[in-house]
Structure 1
Amino acid sequence: MGKRAKPEEIIAKQREVEVRLARGETAASAARAVGVTEQTYYRWRKEYGGLRVDQAKRMKDMEKENARLRRAVSDLTLDNQILQEVGAGKVLSPSRRRAVVDHVVEELGVSERRACRVIGQHRSTQRKQPIQRDDEDALTSTIIRLAERFGRYGYRRITALLRNDGWHVKEKRVYRIWRREGLKVPMKQPKRGRLWLNDGSCVRLSPAHKGHVWSYEFVQDRTHDGRVFRMLCVIDEFTRECLAIRVERKLNSRDVIDTLGELFVRHGAPEHIRSDNGPEFIATALRDWLERVGVKTLYIEPGSRWENCYCESFNSKLRDELLAREIFFDLREAKILIEAWRQHYNTARPHSSLGYKPPAPKAILPAAFMPPYYEEVAA
C-alpha cells in the first residue's frame, strides 16, 4: 500500500503539472511525469484547484475537527440513549448495575466496555460471577418469615433475632437480602423540637440505675365496636422494662394508686416517677400517697411530651407494633393480647439502646400462660 500524499505535496505536484501544460505538454504526459495518472490529476484539481498550501492544510484540519465533533455528538447521543434505557433514578447496587449493563448491551448493541463506562460499573465487577452460599435460601426464607411476623422491625433488629436463633450472620448480609427482597423499612422518625429542660425533663434527670426513675402515661384505643378503652403503661427508664400495662374502660387516680401499689410491692418503690400533667397524675390523693411512700414526682412542661421521652418511645412502639395491627373484639381479648405483647417486649424483643438485647430476658412467663405466637418467639 503506497504512502498517502499530504495536501502540500499534492498542491506542489498540481502546480508542476500546470507548468508542464503551459509548455504544451499533454495532461497525460504531465501527470505521468509527476508519478500519478491523468484521472488522479483531475481529481486533485477538483479538490484542491485554486488553493494555496496553507489553505489546503487549514481545510484538512477543519475536516478532522468536523469529524471529531461528529464522533463526539454521536457518542453523546449514544450515551444519552444508554441512560434513557437505564431509566430514571440511580442504580446503586453492583448486581443491579450488572443486570442493567446486560440489558443495554442486548437492546442497543453497544460494547460491554462502553455500557460499563456510561453506567459507572467497573468491568471486573461486571464480569465477576456472584457465588451463592449454601445457606442463602434458608437465610432468605427465615428473614422473610421474621419480617412477616414482626412487620415493623428493621434489618438490625431482625439480625439480632437471627443471632438469637443461632445464625452467625453480619448486618450487611441481612441488609443485602432485605433490600433484594424489597422488605419494608420502618418509617423515618420526624425531627424533634428543642428540649426546654424543665426540672422534670429526662435531660435534667436521666436514669442512673434500676429503680431510679419510673415513668407512666395513658394510651387510648378502641375495640371493634367503637368503645374506648385506656391503658396505663408503667416503665423503668433505666432498664426499659415495661412493668405493667393496665387495661380498663375507665381509669382514674385511684386505679393509678392500685397499680403503683402492686408494682411497689413486687419491684420496690422507685426514687422518682415521671409523668405529664394529666388530671389523674396531678390528683391530690395520688401526690399525697406518693409522698407518704417516699417517691418524688417529676412533671414535664405542659405541651412538651418529648421531656417524657422514654415513656413516649415505648408508647409509640406499642401502637406501631400492636395497636395499629390488631383488632380487639372485646376488652378481654385486648387484655390478653396486650399482656402477651408486654411479655414479648420484656423477654424476647431486641432493644436497640440495650445492644439489641431484651430489657428483662429472665422474666419469662410459663408456657401455659403464654399465647402460642409469643411462646415460640420467647423459646
Structure 2
Amino acid sequence: MLHNLSATQAAEMLFEYQMTGSFNPLARKYGISPAALHRWRRYLGLNAEWIVRVKALEHELALMRNHCEKVEQNLAIARRVIIRFQPSPRKRSVLAALLIAQFRITHSSANSIVGLSKKTGRNKSWMVKENELVGMMEGFLAENPGYGFRKLFAILLRDEPCGKGLALRLYKKFGFEIGTRKIKPKVPVRIFKPMAVQIEPNTVWSMDLMTDVLSSGKRFWVLNVLDDFNREAVVIKVLMRPTVKAVIAALDEVVNFRKPKCIRTDNGAEFKAVTYRFWAKRRHIYCEYTRFKTPTDNAYVESFNGTLRREIFNHFRFADTRSLQRMLDDWRIRYNLGRPHSALQGLSPAQFAMLMA
C-alpha cells in the first residue's frame, strides 16, 4: 500500500525506477507489491517534499468530494420533500423568491433547491436584448461578409451595453464565424418562359459550357454562344478553367461589335456570379436563367452541344488546346455558312439571316 513507504523512500524508489526501468526487482527490494509500485508511479519526477504536498492535497480533495456528495444527497432529499408537500410549481416559485430575498442566493440556485427549472420566473428582457444583438450582427455581416469577430465588435458593439464574452458566445452560437458562416448569394428569380421564335438577330443569345479531355487526360471546357434567331454559332471558345473572368473575356471579343438584348444560361456558378451580372448590367444586357435542373429551357444551345460533340469530339482527339481552337474556328465558319439546319427549313444560319433581312 502507499503508506508502507515514507516520502523519502518513495522518491528514491521512483528515481531508481526512472533510471533502470525494472519493475518486479524494485518492488521486492522495497518490500511492496508490483501493484503498489504501479500506484506510486503517478508521483514520478517529484522529490520527497513535493510527494508529501501532493498527497496532502489528494487527501483534502477526497474529503471535499465526500462532503460535496453528502451535500448533493441532502439537497436531493430536500428537493423531493418540497415537491412532495408542495406540488404546485407556482407556490414553489414563491418559496424560491423567499430564498433569494433571505439568503441572497442566485435565481437559478433557488429554483434548483425547490425543484424548478433554472429559468423559471426569470425576466425575459435578456432574451429581447440577445435577439437585438443577433439581428445587429446578422445585418452587419451581411453587408461586410469578410469581417471577423474582432472587427465586428470594434465597429458595431464597442459602444453597446454588452460584454465581449456575451458577444463572442452569440457570435459562435449562431454560426457567424467565417468558416461556418452561411452566406446565401442573391439568386435571380427563375421564371419559366416558353422559347419564343425570335424575329430579329441579336435579340436572345443562348450560352452554355461543355467539357472534354485532351489526349493527355487534361480537362478543358468549351464556351458555346448561339443566336436564337438563326442558330448562328457566335462564340466557340476553349477555356482551360470555367471561371467568370474567362467567360467575360470571351464575350467581350464579340460584344464589342455586336450586342444581344438578352443572354439565356443555366444556373452554373460562372453565370450567376456577381461579377458576371455586373458586367451584363454595365453592358445593358438582360440575364435570363433557366429553371433548376431543366436543360430543356435552354434547348437551342443544348442541341448545339450535342451536334458539336457528335461531329468533333467523338471523332478527334487533340494534344493541345491551340490545335483544338483552330479546328473549332474552322468548324464554326462552315457551320454558319454552309451547314443546313433542320429547324431553318434546310438553310444554313447565314442563308436564313440573308433571307429574313
Place the TM-score, normalised by the shorter chain, in its bin.
0.3 to 0.5
TM-score after normalising by structure 1: 0.41
